[in-house]
Amino acid sequence: EVQLVQSEAEVREPGESLKISCKGSGYNFATYWIGWVRQMPGKGLEWMGVIYPGDSDTRYNPSFQGQVTISVDRSINTAFLQWISLKASDTAMYFCARQSPAYYKASDYWGRGTLVTVSS
Amino acid sequence: EIVLTQSPATLSLSPGERVTLSCRASQRLSGSYLAWYQQKPGQAPRLLIYGASSGATGIPDRFSGSGSETDFTLTISSLEPEDFAVYYCQQTATSPGTFGQGTKVEIK
């Protein structure tokens, strides 16, 4: 069974760093792009960027370039989303999702989301 | 960057009604790299349609997709109570792709 298991909710203060994770299982992790999606409270979905675990090729949407870092550790089938210095506006739910080439890169499996709260 | 514009923002309907949601792309999408998702409160999105018109695994027949190039449509033939949710289109013709802003289908 394909699963994407995300790390638990986090609470941080502005200026702190954070790294959240998404662990894939039940499929060949190296051969599917993994994407990160932001959903701010009461708002829509925003596709932040994607990474290909096979070679760590990473693409960011312009709004998120330089704001976050997407990485992967193939040895533990896990993708990461990282902030160096959080802002209150980073408060959101963050989902990871697998892109399926069989589905024209649509996302057939999703994690349950990690809620990040940034508040002083 | 390809921008997707969904309309309307909100639809108020009754169970049994037919629903048509629109998604317009700012540039022609190559191939059929357009997908539709459903999201309910507190849940992750669920893939409904991929390749503009193909139903994902386990999706009921009442959901269908159509369109090409810049204009795409999601149709729900007869609304069931569990279909009241927010619907998003997504293009994956470019990497990493973009979402539309969503259409909320609410109970009238």
- How do residues B5-47 score in pLDDT, each as one tens digit? 999 999 999 999 999 999 999 999 876 799 999 999 999 999 9
Q: What confidence category does residue B95 fall into, taking pLDDT thresholds of 50, 70 and 90? A: confident
Residue whose pair of structure tokens reads 């760093």 in the numeric block: A17
Listed range (A12-21, B50-59, B70-79, B92-101) with the worst mean pLDDT: B92-101
A34 and A25 Cβ atoms separated by less than 8 Å: no
Q: Up-side HSE of residue B61: CA atoms within 13 Å toward CB?
A: 0
With CA atoms as reference, the chain B residue closest to A6 would be B44
Contact A47 B102 (CB under 8 A): no
B66, β-bridge pairs: B73
Q: Which residues of A touch B51 (CB under 8 A)?
A: 103-104, 106
With CA atoms as reference, the chain A residue closest to B29 would be A104
What is the C-alpha to C-alpha distance for residues B104 and B108, in angstroms, rounded to an integer? Answer: 12
With CA atoms as reference, the chain A residue closest to B31 would be A104
> What is the H or E stretch that residue A23 is in?
strand A18-25
Non-local CB neighbours of A36 within 8 Å, separated by 6+ positions: A22, A47, A48, A49, A50, A68, A70, A79, A81, A94, A95, A96, A97
- The answer to whether residue B96 scores a pLDDT higher than 90 is no
Non-local CB neighbours of A19 within 8 Å, separated by 6+ positions: A80, A81, A82, A83
Size of interface A-B (CB pairs under 8 A): 82
What is the C-alpha to C-alpha distance for residues A4 and A9, in angstroms, rounded to an integer? Answer: 15
What is the C-alpha to C-alpha distance for residues A21 and B44, in angstroms, rounded to an integer? Answer: 16
Q: With CA atoms as reference, report the closest residue to B86 among B44, B26, B25.
A: B44
In chain B, positions 52-71, which contact chain A (CB-CB < 8 Å)? Answer: 54, 56-57
Non-local CB neighbours of B8 within 8 Å, separated by 6+ positions: B22, B103
Q: Which residues of B touch A105 (CB under 8 A)?
A: 33, 92, 95, 97
Q: Which residues of A touch B98 (CB under 8 A)?
A: 47, 61
Q: What are phi and psi of B2, to 5 degrees?
A: -80, 125
- Average pLDDT score, chain A: 97
Nearest-CA distance from B88 to chain A in Å? 8
In chain B, positions 12-41, which contact chain A (CB-CB < 8 Å)? Answer: 31-35, 37, 39
B22, β-bridge pairs: B7, B73
